[in-house]
Amino acid sequence: RKWVYTFGDGKAEGGAGDVDLLGGKGAHLAEMAALGLPVPPGMTIVTDACSHFYAHGRSLPDALKAEVASALTQIETMSGRRFGDAANPLLLSVRSGARSSMPGMLDTVLNLGLNAATVEGLAAVSGDERFAWDSYRRFIQMYGDVVLGLDHEVFAEILEDEKARLGIEYDTDMAAEDWRHLTGLYKQVIEEELGEPFPEDPQVQLWGAVSAVFASWMNNRAVTYRMLHNIPGDIGTAVNIQAMVFGNLGSASATGVAFTRNPSTGEKALYGEFLVNAQGEDVVAGIRTPQAITEQARRESGSDKPSMEKLMPEVFAEFAGICARLERHYRDVQDVEFTIERGKLWMLQTRNAKRTTKAAMKIAVDLVEEGVITEEEAVSRIDPASLDQLLHPTIDPRVSREVIGTGLPASPGAATGEIVFTAEDAVIAEDEGRKVILVRVETSPEDIHGMHAAEAVLTTRGGMTSHAAVVARGMGIPCVVGAGSMRIDLRNGFLLGLGVKLKKGDVITIDGTSGQVLKGAVPMMQPELSGDFARLMEWADKARRMTIRTNADTPADARAARSFGAEGIGLCRTEHMFFEGDRIHVMRDMILAESEAGRRAALDKLLPMQREDFTELFKIMHGLPVTIRMLDPPLHEFLPKTAKEIAEVAQAMGMEPRQLAERVSALHEFNPMLGHRGCRLAISYPEIAEMQARAIFEAAIAAGKETGAPVEPEIMVPLVGLRSELDYVKAAIERVASEVMEEGGLHISYLVGTMIELPRAALRAHVIAEAAEFFSFGTNDLTQTTFGMSRDDASAFLPTYQRKGIIERDPFISLDFDGVGELIRIAAERGRRTRPDMKLGICGEHGGDPASIHFCEEIGLDYVSCSPFRVPIARLSAAQAAI
């Protein structure tokens, strides 16, 4: 077997197709090298070596040493330098690179190979002593942190002390001699802390770094990142070992990052940042505020620091050409890293760029128009879950804004919340149900939990590619970075901006679209779903097979869902209507009635209310199918609970509190989810089902007359386990149907079907289908009843299950394909055996979950139904599943 793949000088052993083997970074370095782009020569140790490392007590495969040695010889030949050679030393970078990119999560060491002898050689060949010692101190610092495990703060502190002692403000003012002195201090503290000297032998350094990269796969940051992004833990990282090129070799040298199009707006314009006389991580770390790459971007940002286009026109032209070529080659927008060493351009990384949803849509539509990709490819490229971002509110443009600071618009959307200054406070606030804005000088991977808990993030330092910006965009939360005019006074807990002094807990609003920070809360507007979004949705609608319906209980839900493109209602939960306004009193009269006659009297009052609700819904849906579920929850849900509530309700109803309390306790159930609910209510009290059926049919007639678009109601009987249950309820519905039709002198077609939410119903689907005209899979209850796990109580142990690896995903969020899915498969197949043209749909929470929608497509359901705001996600997911 082969552990090491090399690249350089227009050749490579691997390529873009080898991401699993070489990791993303290695595969694309190889691809760029093979394309003949200027890539420093290097090698990639395959990801399997990482698996080997963990499978064998953190040791490396025997054959690796020899393969690395021979690849290193090749790099030496290509670069014309020798590793460890005191006269003309080759320096290396040792870089991690997982299969899916984990920005900043795994560790990298630069300038490896420096020691007391080679640093002198480097100074001599470069003719720049300051550069050599700057590189050496950077190396000791990174190696000390990444490989030797010392806190990077230790080094930062020594540097600060030294600068203070010398009266120097900027790193750039440190002279060769100052760096040399600092290097000594660094080595000294390392020896004190670890009890042994900093390694001088380049081979020891190399293998230390390789092992450290493999070990970083399991560090806390990386583990958290994978958990949050659902990246499996067992796939490992590759290690890239590459000849160093130097952006810190004076004013004709620089380093930077760029996107081939704007990752925030999608605009077709090169977009990026760079720093003169700097190395690698300086740009991302936000140590100095970087400069724009293009003149256009510089003008737009109002910066007076010259752009790379202006400063280095020839290198810029070459770079712009390479970016265009990479974009064509990969047929997608790229995110690249580069370094310029004394006027010579080197490419250090390329990958498909992360982007905001808005940018993703614009780019996909533009690429179709440019003839680069097809409509279906465009549809496939949008992550359905990310559409959530678009549904973010924006600030109402008509209101006046009290701006207290401005930074870069790093991630779009607006959010309001209380100021918190630490990730911990953000997490606490979230637990208490408070909305907060995380305000930091800059963020680091340790802040990720806090960023998740916050509505938005504000930093006072850093650029568009800083940690805060990249992570917030990925999470889809609004973010403003580099608000340099604002100041955080951590010691006293203040945020200062434009003469305003705010403290922790004060409310601010962040506008991630304009970069503004506003005092207080501001009115928001819902986004407009036109333009690129509408076009992509049109293409998605062309590509999908399944229909998308919505779960809507109120006219407001129904209207929202229609505007998002719902093609009907898959679930209307009638009970929600009984909680509104005065209705709850009538409902209670009905429940508390001693006799059927008393119940009917109350139901007569409920009838017109239900009829109006349904008429309104039918009118909004204008002839589209509407599924209405008969009363489902246990009756005691409608009754008062505490003694105080009971006393109040009793008084209002002219009852003795004691009498009411008795009735309430008579209705109490030990296990209500498995109790007197669903069709069991309709069997105990058929008059309830009759009233609901009458309301539905009368509403259908009324709405049909008014709109001229008659609806075909689908009446759904919940919690059926036995065919005889359905028979009984269906007979009552049919009786009412013929009565109403006779009274109205009008025929309405309708369907009676059932929810499949009990395992018995799934297994007996062929028999139930003799009576049921459609099935709707109620996967919330079906998951509860299949697992025997209460949805409302599962949060007590499911997180533990996930942490201990007992279960991978929460089955209430993402469908359990193996168990619950098997029951759905069985029911669909058996139901259709009896009734081949039977309509099948899903109406649980899973109806809006992309992975579950793929499953529904696979087993041939006719529709999925989800909450209104998830309708666009479902339309796109259904299309991707069908493509």
Number of shown-chain residues binding ligand ADP (CB under 6 A): 15
**Considering the complex, what minimum distance in angstroms separates the CB of residue 719 from Mg ion?**
6
Q: Please name which of 626, 647, 628, 38 lies closest in space to residue 350, comparing C-alpha atoms.
A: 38
| Range 725-744, binding Mg ion (CB under 5 A) | none
Q: Please name which of 448, 461, 449, 446 lies closest in space to residue 410, comparing C-alpha atoms.
A: 461
Binding partner of residue 348 among ligand ADP, Mg ion, none, CB cut-off 5 to 8 Å per kind: ligand ADP
Binding partner of residue 781 among Mg ion, ligand ADP, none, CB cut-off 5 to 8 Å per kind: Mg ion
Q: What is the dihedral of CA 194, 198, 199, 200, to 10 degrees?
A: -160
| Range 670-709, binding Mg ion (CB under 5 A) | none
Per the CB < 8 A criterion, the answer to whether 412 and 478 are in contact is yes
3-state secondary structure of 218: coil
Binding partner of residue 104 among Mg ion, ligand ADP, none, CB cut-off 5 to 8 Å per kind: ligand ADP
Stretch that binds Mg ion, among 5-13, 154-162, 194-202, 347-355 (CB under 5 A): 347-355
**Considering the complex, what minimum distance in angstroms separates the CB of residue 97 from ligand ADP?**
7
Binding partner of residue 242 among ligand ADP, Mg ion, none, CB cut-off 5 to 8 Å per kind: ligand ADP
Binding partner of residue 280 among Mg ion, ligand ADP, none, CB cut-off 5 to 8 Å per kind: ligand ADP
Residue with smaller CB distance to ligand ADP, 104 or 713: 104
Exposure b/e, 306-319, CB count within 10 A at least 16 = b: ebbbebbeebbeeb
Q: Does 95 bind ligand ADP (CB under 6 A)?
A: yes
Stretch that binds ligand ADP, among 80-88, 104-112, 510-518, 558-566 (CB under 6 A): 104-112
**Distance from C-alpha of 794 to C-alpha of 449, rounded to nearest angstrom:** 23
3-state secondary structure of 270: coil
Stretch that binds ligand ADP, among 240-248, 286-294, 296-304, 418-426 (CB under 6 A): 240-248
Stretch that binds ligand ADP, among 136-144, 146-154, 239-247, 525-533 (CB under 6 A): 239-247
Per the CB < 8 A criterion, the answer to whether 848 and 866 are in contact is yes
Residue with smaller CB distance to ligand ADP, 104 or 704: 104
**Considering the complex, what minimum distance in angstroms separates the CB of residue 194 from ligand ADP?**
25
Binding partner of residue 646 among ligand ADP, Mg ion, none, CB cut-off 5 to 8 Å per kind: none
**Distance from C-alpha of 782 to C-alpha of 726, rounded to nearest angstrom:** 18
3-state secondary structure of 815: coil
Per the CB < 8 A criterion, the answer to whether 470 and 451 are in contact is no
| Range 779-798, binding Mg ion (CB under 5 A) | 781
Kindly write down the DSSP assignment for every residue of 705-767, as one continuous string. HHHS----EEEEE-S--SHHHHHHHHHHHHHHHHHHHHHHT-----EEEEEE-SHHHHHTHHH
Angle subtended by helix axes 686-707 and 596-621, to nearest 10: 30
Q: Does 6 bind ligand ADP (CB under 6 A)?
A: no
Q: Does 466 bind Mg ion (CB under 5 A)?
A: no
Q: Please name which of 473, 518, 260 lies closest in space to residue 367, comparing C-alpha atoms.
A: 260
Stretch that binds ligand ADP, among 238-246, 412-420, 660-668, 787-795 (CB under 6 A): 238-246
Residue with smaller CB distance to Mg ion, 778 or 821: 778
Contacts of 443 (CB under 8 A, 6+ apart): 451, 457, 459, 466, 467, 468, 471
**Considering the complex, what minimum distance in angstroms separates the CB of residue 465 from ligand ADP?**
10
Active site residue 467: yes
Stretch that binds Mg ion, among 378-386, 590-598, 736-744, 757-765 (CB under 5 A): 757-765
Q: Does 778 bind Mg ion (CB under 5 A)?
A: yes
Stretch that binds ligand ADP, among 47-55, 103-111, 546-554, 607-615 (CB under 6 A): 103-111
**Considering the complex, what minimum distance in angstroms separates the CB of residue 718 from Mg ion?**
6
Half-sphere exposure of residue 876, counting CA atoms within 13 Å on the CB side?
27
Among 8, 23, 24, 40, binds ligand ADP (CB under 6 A): 40
Binding partner of residue 236 among ligand ADP, Mg ion, none, CB cut-off 5 to 8 Å per kind: none
Per the CB < 8 A criterion, the answer to whether 249 and 339 are in contact is no
Q: Quote the DSSP letter at residue 637.
A: G
Count CB atoms within 10 A of the CB of residue 667: 18
The DSSP element (H or E) to which 165 belongs, if any, is: helix 152-166
Among 6, 44, 79, 93, binds ligand ADP (CB under 6 A): 93
Exposure b/e, 408-439, CB count within 10 A at least 16 = b: bbbbbbbbbbbbbbebebbbebbeeebbbbbb
| Range 108-147, binding ligand ADP (CB under 6 A) | 108, 110
**Distance from C-alpha of 677 to C-alpha of 442, rounded to nearest angstrom:** 53
The DSSP element (H or E) to which 156 belongs, if any, is: helix 152-166
Q: Does 349 bind Mg ion (CB under 5 A)?
A: yes
Active site residue 50: no
Q: Does 281 bind ligand ADP (CB under 6 A)?
A: yes
Q: Does 237 bind ligand ADP (CB under 6 A)?
A: no
Binding partner of residue 778 among Mg ion, ligand ADP, none, CB cut-off 5 to 8 Å per kind: Mg ion
The site map against ligand ADP for 396-435 (x = CB under 6 A) is ----------------------------------------
Among 19, 39, 245, 695, binds ligand ADP (CB under 6 A): 245
Label residue 621 exposed, middle or buried (CB < 10 Å: 0-12, 13-18, 19+).
Answer: buried
Q: Which of 50, 323, 679, 843 is catalytic?
A: 843
Contacts of 268 (CB under 8 A, 6+ apart): 261, 262, 366
Q: Which residue sits closest to ligand ADP, CB atoms considered?
A: 280
Which sequence positions are flagged as catalytic? Answer: 467, 843
Residues of this chain that interact with Mg ion (CB under 5 A) are 349, 757, 778, 781
Residues of this chain that interact with ligand ADP (CB under 6 A) are 40, 93, 95, 104, 108, 110, 242, 244-245, 280-281, 337, 339, 348-349
